Structure formats: structure tokens, C-alpha cells
Amino acid sequence: MENLKQLVGIKAAEFVSDGMIVGLGTGSTAAFFVEELGRRVKEENLDIVGVTTSHDTTIQAKALGIPLKSIDEVTHVDVTVDGADEIDDDLNGIKGGGAALLMEKIVASYTKHYIWIVDDSKLSRKLGSFKVPVEVIPYGFKQLFRHFEKQGFKPSYRYDDKGDLLVTDMKHHIIDLHFDIIHEPKKLAKLLDETVGVVEHGLFNNMVDTVIVGSSNGVSIIDKKK
């Protein structure tokens, strides 16, 4: 599995060239992409600026010598490469297993070419096998939990390694929603968007342009149908 992650991370780095502003994703797969960019910066004098999607990625990129700017210091992002937790046949996705969904979606929203890198276990006919993370403000989050219970969304709180309620980089909490199958991801996204107290959710609908998939047969590329 680690080898597949490394293969797609290295392949994604081929989409990066001199002068680009590059969104650096979060998670174990995206880390291989960032590592390869760091190698190219050091060994090939690749001239780029990175925009990170989490505190962890910022630490990694700085250690590798990748020049960084914040999303507010750039006018756009040329290409962003990130992982995904589940992808359906229409290339809608669920992200946020690493609790970085808010920053990831902000960077993705200002990106010209958005790429996901995954292994083939993340591909599904329909979304739902992976939980839908919902980032919520601390004030009233228990009321939101009860609201989701009434909706039949089977919510659960996200905890950190110490057993405390997880606090995101943006100082919010995560409530995970559990579904068997999400038949209408855009309808669910709209409902969550309109729910007071929700900052962002992990449904990334109609956002990605390219998916790079690693499998036992090698690496394949899926481009969104225009």
C-alpha cells in the first residue's frame, strides 16, 4: 500500500513545473507528493511556491526547503494535489479523514487544476462507505449533534489520540456522519451548507479535475469528462 501511495505521489509531481504556485495536500498519500517536490526543489532547482492545507504539511514542506506562502498571499493556485478518502463514479469525493477538510477545500476552491491521488481501494460506485466529516464551531456543537441524530445521520464525535475532543487547525470540532450509501451527495451537501453552526463538510462534489489511481496494475489517470 505504501508503495502505491509513493507511486501516485511521484506521478502527481510530474504535473508541477517551474513558476507554479502549488497546493500541498494533507495525509499519508499527499506526503509522498510533497516529499517528491522537496527532492525536485533540492536536486533539480525546481522554482515553485507552496500553499499548505494543514499545520502538519507546513512542517513537512519547511523541512524539505519548499518556499511557502499563505492562501491570502497568492492570487490563485496553479495545481493542488491531495488525497481523498472515497471517490464515486462521478468523481465526487469525501475528504477530511485527517481533519484538514476546511483548509483543503479553501485551497482547492482557488485552484486551476485540482488533482487527487489515491489507491484503488478508495474508488466506489456511490459514496457512503466512508464517514462524512463535518467541521463545526464549538458553540452549540452538541445541539448540532442532536440535530444530526434526528436527521438519521448517525453522528459521532471525533476524538484525538489522547481521547479528547479533536480540535482542528482552525480551532473547530469534527462530527462524523455515517451513511451506508449517499444517493444524492449534492443534495446532502446543500443541506449541510445551510445548517447553522457548520463551518464546512467533507463532501467535495464536482471539484476535482484529475484522479491518479495506484493499483496492482500500476498507475492510471482519470480525467473529468468535460
The answer to whether residue 104 is catalytic is yes
Cα(68)–Cα(168) distance, integer angstroms = 21
Please pick, among 36, 104, 135, 200, the residue that the annotation labels catalytic: 104
To the nearest 10 degrees (0 to 180), the angle between helices 28-43 and 2-13 is: 50
21 exposed, middle or buried (CB, 10 Å; 0-12, 13-18, 19+)? buried
Q: Which residues are catalytic?
A: 104
